[in-house]
Amino acid sequence: MDKLRVLFMPSVDLDNTNAQSLNVREIALRLDPQRLHSTLWYEREPDPRLRNLPGVRLLQLPSRRQTLPILREMLAGYDIVAYMDYSPASYLFLHVPRVMRRARAVMHVEAPTSQLKNPPRLLRTLFEGVRARCDMYTGITEFIAQEFHSRTKKKVSYILPVGVDTRLFSPPAVRQHEVPVVLFAGTLIERKGPQYVVDAAALFPDARFRLVGAGREGFEDVLRQKIAQSGAKNLTLEGPRTQTEMLDAMRESDVFLLPSRLEGIPKVTLEAASTGLPCIVFRDYETPSVIDGVTGFQIGTIEGMMQALAKLIADPSLRQRMGEAARKHVASFDWDLVSQQWQNAYLEIGAAR
């Protein structure tokens, strides 16, 4: 049997902390090289784990004018082009005559379609042109799959979650802080809700709060102003972190707080749970990474968020019980298990051609 040839669209540069890039790396590392051959893009320096790996081919992109090299590769006889993005190359690939392309284009739907809010006209055109013409769709959760189908009428054929490296993201030997530490990690944009972490810091002066992540669209300046106006002295705005630094931040914290209301399975909740942190999330997107009342709380309002936070800040034993339960729960999301679901789906998609 010939190996299935898969081209992944996200770049796999070592310094790329985009969730799709991180996911692709973990999947490609675990695919059976006897059955699948993966081609991956990078621009500067690829994740070194992928170098000289059987079944993996790395292609360097030029610093400029990337569309034509990408399109040329997409048309080079692959069986599957996976993780379709909203780039000009993907748009062109899906609009050439079908006879010119062999590969099946697979879109992995990982967030509600409403997440793309008031985009520029070009991005809207690319988004709609790519989304409408893919050959196969997968969903990160049942909730996301149903939401996507209701909005687009496109069939979602597989539920493929993302995972976590439970060997890397492990709890500290001891978690004993005199002052409870509440961690937010994610892009500092309004949609993610870091402004509510500032409100929480003002409400709970006896806890310490950390905002970790890169700012976008100047929103970090909005946060600095809000922090100054609140007078909160128990909150630090720490900027982006590498994966290793994020692991340290989670091990040095007691509670993970994510006030975002538009997600699929937030990778940071899997990582936080794997390090033994109870998580507080909104129930709007029904993430399976948090079991309400067992591994943390899924809440419906900001008031509910503050109430859940109050319980965890005040009760070390509750934090410990939920953190231990969280660690056990995410064992089923270990990348070694999850990547097999992706592999099986790709093999079925390839065989169905």
Higher pLDDT, 1 or 319: 319
Q: Note the pLDDT of residue 116.
A: 63
Say if residue 348's pLDDT is above 80: yes
Tell me what pLDDT residue 335 has. Answer: 98
Task: Using pLDDT thresholds of 50, 70 and 90, give the confidence band for residue 242.
Answer: confident
pLDDT of 222 strictly over 70: yes
Confidence category of residue 112, pLDDT binned at 50, 70, 90 = confident
Query: Cβ neighbours of residue 207 under 8 Å, at least 6 residues apart?
Result: 179, 180, 181, 182, 201, 234, 313
pLDDT given at position 147: 94
* pLDDT band (50, 70, 90) for residue 120: confident
User: Residue 296 and residue 154: Cα distance in Å, rounded?
Assistant: 33
The 10s digit of each residue's pLDDT in 54-103 is 999 999 999 899 999 999 999 999 999 999 999 999 999 999 998 888 89
Confidence of residue 353 (pLDDT cuts 50, 70, 90): low
- What are the backbone angles phi and psi of residue 55, rounded to the nearest 5°? 85, 5
Q: What is the pLDDT of residues 267-276, one digit of tens each?
A: 999 999 999 9
Q: Which pLDDT score is estimated for 211? A: 97
Are the beta carbons of 247 and 268 closer than 8 angstroms? no
Least confident of 46-50, 120-124, 246-250, 262-266: 120-124
For residue 1, pLDDT beyond 70 = no
Q: In which band, very low, low, confident or very high, does the pLDDT at 352 lie, cut at 50, 70 and 90?
A: confident
Q: How many Cβ atoms are within 10 Å of 327's Cβ, its own excluded?
A: 19
Q: How crowded is residue 96: how many other Cβ atoms within 10 Å of its Cβ? A: 12
pLDDT of residue 128: 92
Mean pLDDT within 318-337 = 98
Q: What is the spatial order of strands in the sheet that 181-185 belongs to?
A: 235-239, 208-212, 181-185, 255-257, 279-282, 296-299
Domains of the chain: 4-163+334-352 (3.40.50.2000), 181-332 (3.40.50.2000)
Place of tokens 């081609």: 39
Task: Give the model's confidence band at 176: pLDDT under 50 very low, under 70 low, under 90 confident, else very high.
Answer: confident
Residue 113, pLDDT score:
76
Q: Is the pLDDT of residue 178 over 60?
A: yes
CA 309 to CA 302: how far, in whole Å?
A: 10
pLDDT digits (tens, 9 = 90+) for 291-300: 999 999 999 9
The two tokens of residue 219 are 């929103």
pLDDT of res. 171: 97
pLDDT, residue 326, reads 98
Over pLDDT 70: what percentage of the chain? 98
The token pair that represents 229 in the structure block: 């106006």
